[in-house]
Structure 1
Amino acid sequence: MTGDGGIPLLSRVIDGGAAEISQITGTMNALRAMAGPKEFLLIADSKLISYGNVAALIKAGTDFIAPAPASKVDDAIYAALDLDAATVVDYTPARYEDTPAAERETYRVLEDIHLLTGPHKNDPPLEVRRILVHSTGNAKGQQRAREKRLAKAREDLDKLQHSTGGRYYNTAEKIAARLGVITRTRRVSGCLCTQITTDETGRPALSWHFDQDVLQAEAAVDGWYALLTTLTPEQTDPSDVLRRHKGQGTVERRYGDFKGPLAVTPIFVQDNKRVAALITVICLALLLFCLIERQVRRALGGEQKMQGLYPGSQKVRPTGRMILYHLSDLRLRVGSATDPPVIAITRGIQLHLLDLLGLEPTHPRWPET
């Protein structure tokens, strides 16, 4: 996607059996060739981070930004970070623009070096820049998810504890088997401590508790994640690395358009060439969809917001979906030799959108009969 308007530049149809991670280098080279002498920055998700991909990117001299997979950064690193020493980033997500400043998600960044080791002992380690990011929104979300997970586990464990010694859980083996199911499904194996005892009659009993030290250690890393990049400190500071990475949301939004407003659904075709042709046509439709959205926003200028798209007087950025929704019920009145064709406009928002698109509704390009 382009930075200006999120216009799709390149689409490819890849065999269903091909691994996603093995397609990155070839796609990167194709995009780099298209970019020519212009600055090219590859922004990707954590699938990009493998020894082979990073080595290829460094060798090609192509800069990238991608989040480090969770397995690449130990939680102890995040737990040891000093949040007060981190730099506050001047960045506000679009969804928080109308939210009071005190309630907005905030980001802080620190910086260090990450060494990426290869699959073989003689592979030289790759040194890349690591930006450690803390998000208050992520922290709150992770805290809520943990509380919900613990609450469900607590409910299951209390139920099991009250059932021990009864008809279904009358042996330690059955209780242990049920505990294994609970710890796996509720993902509490790291913090759950249990003890199964039996009395003089052989009746089992269960006691349990959550290890608070483990829970505090989990809470200490809430909100932290790492971005890896080859951009040097001379090229950009840590805050700008985060802002550039947030541009990936544009691509994700276009994936949503591909699957949503364009109404792409499964269809049966008889050979792979027809699959490729169908996807190509859909990608051309996405291109037009995005160009319409870009044209309307550029014509609005300034904050690129307008009224009338939704009930009420709220001003929002027009999306391709809402633009086509409001234009979908336009009707063409076919003309005759004495009566020229005209477009029947029923609402003012339609006239406004046509004007922003540079279309003249009184002179449609349509046969007169």
Structure 2
Amino acid sequence: MREVAHLTHGQVIEVLVANRLFASAPLVRVGDWAREWAVEEVFGIEADLLNDDRIGRALDAVAPELEHIVGTVGASAIVGFGIDVPRLYWDMTSISLHGAYESPEEGFPQVKYGHPKDRRADLKQIQAGIAISADGGIPVFHRAYDGGAGEVSQVVGAMTALRELAAPRDFLMVGDSKLISYGNLLALREAGVRFIAPAPAAKIPDGPFAALDMGQAQPVDYIAGRDAGKPPAKRGHYRVLEDTQTLSGPRKRDPQVTVRRILVHSSANAAAQQAARTRRLEKAREELDRLRSACGGRHYATVQKITARIGVTTSKRRIGSCLVTSISTDEAGRPALTWHYDQEALAAGAEVDGWYALLTILAAADADAAEVLIRYKDQPGIERRHSDFKGPLAVAPVFLHHNQRIAALITVICLALLVFCLIERQVRQALGGDQTVRGLYPDNRPLRPTGRMVLHHLADLRIRTGTATDPPTIQITRGVQAHLLELLGIDETRPRWLETSKPMCETRV
């Protein structure tokens, strides 16, 4: 594990291939996988020696060293690859699990019920927090947490670890709304750690947004990634205003924390929210009209049943603020429903579409309101790394008996993610300019290469067996393969392999 921190560009692919042991794929025996991916030829490990029990023992050996591995590998990657870490993005994700785990190992994250990101509340889970650098989107730090741990309560611990990782340089911590609480802001301020995070919706009522004057908002020179290829007229645009917000502690003697508040309006968000509201209103209209027609019938013969059904629609479609209903009964006691939408309430809701708030303690001299937004907008990059974590590097079903093995496996996957992202960063840096390359897709259009696409094109490279006078070489079948190897600084005429009992044969690497 510690060797990962000292990778050369030529060894990067080998380490990632080794970590493909856990890659999402049709279920195969570990030994078969090892033969397919030339583990014996490259690493000198006989394929038949690899099995589920050996994986378990390896995870047991890794588990006691997790803190050391995570800290040293992340720090060494920062130094060895020149990763710039003045800005780190922190977020947590969840991994759903099957099983009881009734005898957990002490000192390791506990498998518990929580609030899973995949909405499988019926499953227990373990959580993982990942810190991503703005430079290349590299996961330089990670940590596993109990399944039931609250994200808000993990911020201070993550902040302490990231400050040590970035030392002696100051860093900017960017997170989601879970970062914002009185205790967290107080700790961040006292530690001198700068941060940017969106204010939770509960802490910003609609009233302040409705009172904002769009004409006074400052335009921001920023183009979202999704709009980069669109004509200017169809691109979303952003505007910002600035004020302050003060948070008070639970006790009167607690010091108040005042932070800068950047009020952001996104035209794309506004359009999306308006479209979503229209869909909700239309769905609710259909349901309410059906209910009105069914009033007095067998299923809705009483006011109580009608009221209950209105409550279901109101909650499901989130229309409680604008729905006005009235239930009357005739002389025979049959109920009747009338309803309408409050147009003033709808107009008031439309006034706040597209607005949200960012909180920060960055000094105005270091970043004005527009710059705060621009620094925050890289936050979706960490969501992409979570997608990589659960996509190209997703774990195939593995039976793990103890929570310490789960924690160790998370670290192995995160180290694979680190190497995966370093490959992507290396290729993009070597490209320079617009960081695009042709040949990744059949239509030959220029694209920014991703780690997934790089490995897709390199996955079917083959080695031509060598002789005493003619060393083995990598066989390249497509021009894009040669280009990617060149960008990675890999000499295809000098493949790395070990002397083993079996002669080298044509196989994948």
Mean CA deviation greater in 162-171 or 103-112: 162-171
* Cα distance between partner residues in 1 of 2:475 and 2:487: 18
1:156 correspondence with 2:278 = no
Q: Deviations over 1:200-238 (max 9, x none)?
A: 332221110011111111100000000000011112100
1:107 aligned residue (232, 238, 242)? 238
> Could you tell me whether the CA contact under 8 Å between 1:75 and 1:221 is conserved in 2?
yes
> Could you tell me whether the CA contact under 8 Å between 1:341 and 1:366 is conserved in 2?
no
CA shift, 1:265, in A, is: 4.3
Identity level (%):
60
Structure-2 residue corresponding to 1:213:
344
Structure-2 residue corresponding to 1:273:
404
1:198 correspondence with 2:323 = no
CA shift, 1:45, in A, is: 0.5
Q: Deviations over 1:234-287 (max 9, x none)?
A: 121000000111122222221111111112245332223322221121111111
Task: Letter of the 1:112 partner, please give it.
Answer: D
Task: Letter of the 1:362 partner, please give it.
Answer: T
Task: Letter of the 2:363 partner, please give it.
Answer: T
2:156 aligned residue (25, 38, 44)? 25
Structure-2 residue corresponding to 1:230:
361
* Cα distance between partner residues in 2 of 1:14 and 1:266: 20
Three-state SS of the structure 2 residue aligned to 1:108 is strand
1:360 correspondence with 2:479 = no
Report the RMSD for the aligned CA atoms in angstroms. 1.5
1:79 correspondence with 2:210 = yes
TM-score with structure 2 setting the length: 0.70
* Cα distance between partner residues in 2 of 1:26 and 1:237: 29
Structure-1 residue corresponding to 2:459:
328
1:189 correspondence with 2:356 = no
1:244 correspondence with 2:244 = no
CA shift, 1:30, in A, is: 1.4
1:145 correspondence with 2:269 = no
* Cα distance between partner residues in 2 of 1:211 and 1:266: 51
Mean CA deviation greater in 245-254 or 142-151: 245-254
Structure-2 residue corresponding to 1:41:
172
1:180 aligned residue (302, 311, 318)? 311
> Could you tell me whether the CA contact under 8 Å between 1:149 and 1:187 is conserved in 2?
yes
Three-state SS of the structure 2 residue aligned to 1:157 is helix
CA shift, 1:101, in A, is: 1.0
> Could you tell me whether the CA contact under 8 Å between 1:138 and 1:223 is conserved in 2?
yes
Q: Deviations over 1:150-205 (max 9, x none)?
A: 11100000111111122222222222221122111111111111111122332221
* Cα distance between partner residues in 2 of 1:139 and 1:248: 19
Q: Deviations over 1:9-39 (max 9, x none)?
A: 1111223343322221111111112211323
Mean CA deviation greater in 156-165 or 181-190: 181-190
Structure-1 residue corresponding to 2:422:
291
Mean CA deviation greater in 293-302 or 117-126: 117-126
> Could you tell me whether the CA contact under 8 Å between 2:163 and 2:170 is conserved in 1?
no
> Could you tell me whether the CA contact under 8 Å between 2:246 and 2:256 is conserved in 1?
yes
Mean CA deviation greater in 328-337 or 125-134: 328-337
* Cα distance between partner residues in 2 of 1:138 and 1:223: 5
1:16 aligned residue (141, 147, 154)? 147
Task: Letter of the 1:307 partner, please give it.
Answer: R
Mean CA deviation greater in 155-164 or 121-130: 121-130
* Cα distance between partner residues in 2 of 1:171 and 1:249: 50
2:436 aligned residue (305, 316, 328)? 305
> Could you tell me whether the CA contact under 8 Å between 2:175 and 2:379 is conserved in 1?
yes
1:123 correspondence with 2:254 = yes
1:6 correspondence with 2:126 = no
Matches within 5 A, 1:53-64: 53-64=184-195
* Cα distance between partner residues in 2 of 1:168 and 1:6: 56
**Residue ranges of structure 1 left out of the alignment (5+ in a row):** none
* Cα distance between partner residues in 2 of 1:358 and 1:132: 45
* Cα distance between partner residues in 1 of 2:397 and 2:315: 34
> Could you tell me whether the CA contact under 8 Å between 2:326 and 2:337 is conserved in 1?
yes
Task: Letter of the 1:73 partner, please give it.
Answer: I
Count of aligned pairs: 369
Three-state SS of the structure 1 residue aligned to 2:370 is helix
Structure-1 residue corresponding to 2:71:
none
* Cα distance between partner residues in 2 of 1:39 and 1:338: 55
Runs of 4+ in 1 over 3 A off after TM superposition: none
Q: Which has the higher relative contact order, 1 or 2, with Cα contacts under 8 A spaced 6 or more apart?
A: 2
* Cα distance between partner residues in 2 of 1:17 and 1:313: 47
Mean CA deviation greater in 24-33 or 336-345: 336-345
Three-state SS of the structure 2 residue aligned to 1:9 is strand
* Cα distance between partner residues in 2 of 1:288 and 1:254: 12
* Cα distance between partner residues in 1 of 2:307 and 2:161: 55
Task: Letter of the 2:343 partner, please give it.
Answer: Q
Task: Letter of the 1:209 partner, please give it.
Answer: H
**Residue ranges of structure 2 left out of the alignment (5+ in a row):** 1-131, 505-509
* Cα distance between partner residues in 1 of 2:141 and 2:452: 22
Three-state SS of the structure 1 residue aligned to 2:142 is coil
Mean CA deviation greater in 100-109 or 306-315: 306-315
Q: Deviations over 1:285-318 (max 9, x none)?
A: 1111011101110111001011111231321110
